[in-house]
Amino acid sequence: MKAAFIERFGPAESIRFASLPDPEPGPMEVLVDIGATTVNPVDTFIRSGAWRTPVTFPFVVGRDLVGTVAAVGAGTAGFSVGDRVWCNSLGHGGRQGAAAERAAVPADRLYHLPDGVPPEQAVAVVHPAATAYLALFTHGALRPGETVLVVGAGGNVGSAAVTLAAEAGARVLATARAEDEEHCRALGAEGFADYRAPDLADRLRAAAPHGVDLVVDAAGRNDLEGAVDLLALRGRVVVLAGLDSRPLLPVGPLYLKDGTVTGFVISRATVAELAEAARALNRLLVRGRLRAREVEERPLSTMAEAHARLERGELHGRRLVLRPALDT
């Protein structure tokens, strides 16, 4: 099969596109013919070695896939040849990645793609939306009627967080670029503020005079002093981006509010947590409520370029969908 892989940790240009042996599904695994994959910031962290996880070289990069079941390993139930499926947790923890023509996927990390859902839309949202779901509900304990502030609401994870929180009955405030306001409000944000506004803190306090119950920072700015200042009693902050971030933690104000700051990385999500998120995502995919702002389809052979473009910050609001079929 053709695959995008690395033979050592390194920069984007270290990704090769060449032939590797076809994978064979073991017990409790499913062989998937991959129709589409994508690239996420965490993929660049693993490729570069910035975030260490067990890998075997040559290592196929990538987390996410949408495809069709080609074969089912021994003892595997729930899948049949021809089923449309998706996965968002390959490419780390000892598992080979999704940037290939085929992948052997653990059955407990594979989910059915509902009928009528376009594969290119699904693969573009399943990783950021699962991240947003786990941040909001598993780690942020968001409940209907609460107020949540989504920082970086114009990006992929932030957009999904606005959608999911609004769907759950929360009141959503969003910060992003001024040009993202229409997009954020269309997703369900009740309040919006340009993160570059000099009076940002005053605007947010005016929008939530009794404080916010949850702050989810999808931008990695991690202004903990500002976030804690905005918290309501027993408010929560979930930190899920900013690998090199080193903010100051205002301990006094935090404990006086009975507040919490929780770190969360989807790479440590359990199989059960991922499956719970997948069920929620499938319901919204069927309804058309989870969609990427913009999708650009490219051949799988351009994976090195995709990593480089992501690292250069060229993909705000855009998802690259890489398809093996475009290389033939």
**Within-domain flag for 276:** no
Count of all residues that appear for the chain in the document: 328
Residue after which a domain boundary falls, among 215, 249, 267: 267
**Residues in CB range of 87: below 8 A, 6 or more apart:** 32, 64, 65, 98, 103, 105, 109, 110, 111
Give the domain CATH number at 315.
3.90.180.10
120-166 pLDDT, tens digit per residue, is 999 999 999 999 999 999 999 999 999 999 999 999 999 999 999 99
Whether residues 135 and 111 share a domain: the answer is no
**pLDDT class of 5 with cuts at 50, 70, 90:** very high
Quote the pLDDT of residue 237: 96
Average pLDDT over residues 27-45: 97
The residue among 231, 252, 267 that closes a domain is: 267
Alpha helices in 171-258 (DSSP H): 181-187, 200-207, 224-230, 251-256
Same domain assignment for residues 230 and 131: yes
Six token digits for residue 262: 């929780």
Rounded CA-CA distance 282/275 in Å is 10
Report the share of the chain in percent with pLDDT over 70.
100
- Residue 306: closest CA among 79, 152, 124, 138: 124
Query: Residue 328 above 80 pLDDT?
Result: no
39: burial class by Cβ within 10 Å (0-12, 13-18, 19+)? buried
Which two structure tokens, joined as six digits, stand for 56?
Answer: 């075997």
Structural domain includes residue 279? no
CATH code for the domain in which residue 137 is found: 3.40.50.720
pTM for this model (two decimals): 0.96
How many structural domains does the chain have?
A: 2
Q: Give me the chain's average pLDDT, please.
A: 95
Output 6 or 328, whichever has higher pLDDT. Answer: 6
Q: 131 and 44, same structural domain? A: no
159: containing domain: 127-267
Please say whether the beta carbons of 30 and 82 come within 8 A: no
186 with 307, same domain?
no
Q: In the structure, what pLDDT confidence band is assigned to residue 220 with cuts at 50, 70 and 90?
A: confident
For β-strands 16-19 and 29-38, DSSP reports them as: unpaired
